[in-house]
């Protein structure tokens, strides 16, 4: 009798990048396949979307009525539901529609917009169903995925990382691009997980991994104004990949409405 835990990986509105975090495990994925049964994972050739599973990973946001209905079924069939990546945890790039008139955009792009069945907003998974664990990132990294599975297999709660990219820069001995170079770096409000990839190459952080603990976005936005950024540029920094994250959304919308002289 096969008593191995069953795992599913589901895709919603997304680019598939976070599913590649599984495939990029390489040999480690083969070792993992000996410990669990993949019931559904289209990228890897397993097809059973309605399977009852112990762990369901979801990539992507809810953007269509069909997405919303499918998600309810997945939640009902899963013991643990884990979201992976910026789209699933904070709406992703497609959540930029939440900042505009989605119907007007559709009408401007498509010759027959009446055949486009999409929701007015793109929402993270937690806005629709209960989520047991969120793994942030654009894309999520393979280490996060394997650590979460390992923890659940041993019956313990996975440890989430929410300290700031700035801490990772200090551990790596990086020169601060915000202080030393005057770059509008989002590191002070962004959780680590990427290994401080951009600052390690002298570039400012783009907030791929979402808000960290104790975010003071208002203070960082004012610092960006001091660096010479216009209010609209400050807003874009916060209303980007993780724009549906409340900690970023509130700051971004405030500066989106600001006049140039308000700073």
The fraction of the chain above a pLDDT of 90, given in percent, is 64
Q: What is the CA radius of gyration of the chain?
A: 20
Q: Which domains occur in the chain, in start order?
A: 6-153 (3.40.50.700), 165-262 (no CATH)
Mean pLDDT of 41-51: 91
- Residue 123 CA to residue 141 CA, distance in Å, equals 22
Largest CA distance in the chain: 70
Whole-number pLDDT of residue 261: 52
Of 182, 184, 263, 249, which Cα lies nearest the Cα of 215? 249
DSSP assignments along 18-74, one per residue = THHHHHTTTHHHHHHHHHSEEEEEGGGTB--TT--EEEEEEESBB-SHHHHHHHHHH
- Residue 249 CA to residue 95 CA, distance in Å, equals 11
Per-residue buried b or exposed e for 184-206, using 16+ beta carbons within 10 Å of the residue's own CB: bbbbbbbbbbbebebbbeeebbb
**141 in Cβ contact with 196 (< 8 Å):** no
pLDDT at 207 over 70: yes
pLDDT digits (tens, 9 = 90+) for 82-101: 999 999 999 998 898 888 88
Burial class (CB in 10 A: 0-12, 13-18, 19+), 22: buried
- pLDDT class of 259 with cuts at 50, 70, 90: low
- Residue 78 CA to residue 4 CA, distance in Å, equals 15
Count of other CB atoms within 10 angstroms of residue 230: 14
The model's pTM: 0.90
Cis peptide upstream of residue 139 (ω within 30 degrees of 0): yes
pLDDT digits (tens, 9 = 90+) for 112-145: 988 988 888 899 999 999 999 999 999 998 888 8
- Tell me the two tokens of residue 243: 């724009």
């Amino acid at each position: 009798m096969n008593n191995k835990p069953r795992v599913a990986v589901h895709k919603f509105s997304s680019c598939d990048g976070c599913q590649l975090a599984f495939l990029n495990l390489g040999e480690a994925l083969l070792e993992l396949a000996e410990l669990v049964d993949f019931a559904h994972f289209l990228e890897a050739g397993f097809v059973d979307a309605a399977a009852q599973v112990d762990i369901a990973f979801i990539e992507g946001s809810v953007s269509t009525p069909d997405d919303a209905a499918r998600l309810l079924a997945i939640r009902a069939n899963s013991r643990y539901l884990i979201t992976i990546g910026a789209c699933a945890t904070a709406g992703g790039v497609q959540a930029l529609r939440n900042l505009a008139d989605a119907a007007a955009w559709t009408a401007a792009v498509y010759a027959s917009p009446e055949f486009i069945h999409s929701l007015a907003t793109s929402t993270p998974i937690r806005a629709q169903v209960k989520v047991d664990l969120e793994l942030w990132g654009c894309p999520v990294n393979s280490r996060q995925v394997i650590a979460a599975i390992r923890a659940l297999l041993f019956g313990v709660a996975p440890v989430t990382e929410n300290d700031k990219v700035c801490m990772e820069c200090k551990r790596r001995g990086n020169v601060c691009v915000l202080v030393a170079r005057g770059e509008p770096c989002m590191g002070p409000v962004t959780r680590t997980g990427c290994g401080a990839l951009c600052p390690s190459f002298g570039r400012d952080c783009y907030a791929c991994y979402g808000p960290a603990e104790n975010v003071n976005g208002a203070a960082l936005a004012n610092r960006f104004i001091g660096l010479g950024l216009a209010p609209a540029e400050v807003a874009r920094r916060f209303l980007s990949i993780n724009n549906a994250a409340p900690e970023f959304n509130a700051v971004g919308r405030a500066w989106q409405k600001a006049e140039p002289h308000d700073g």
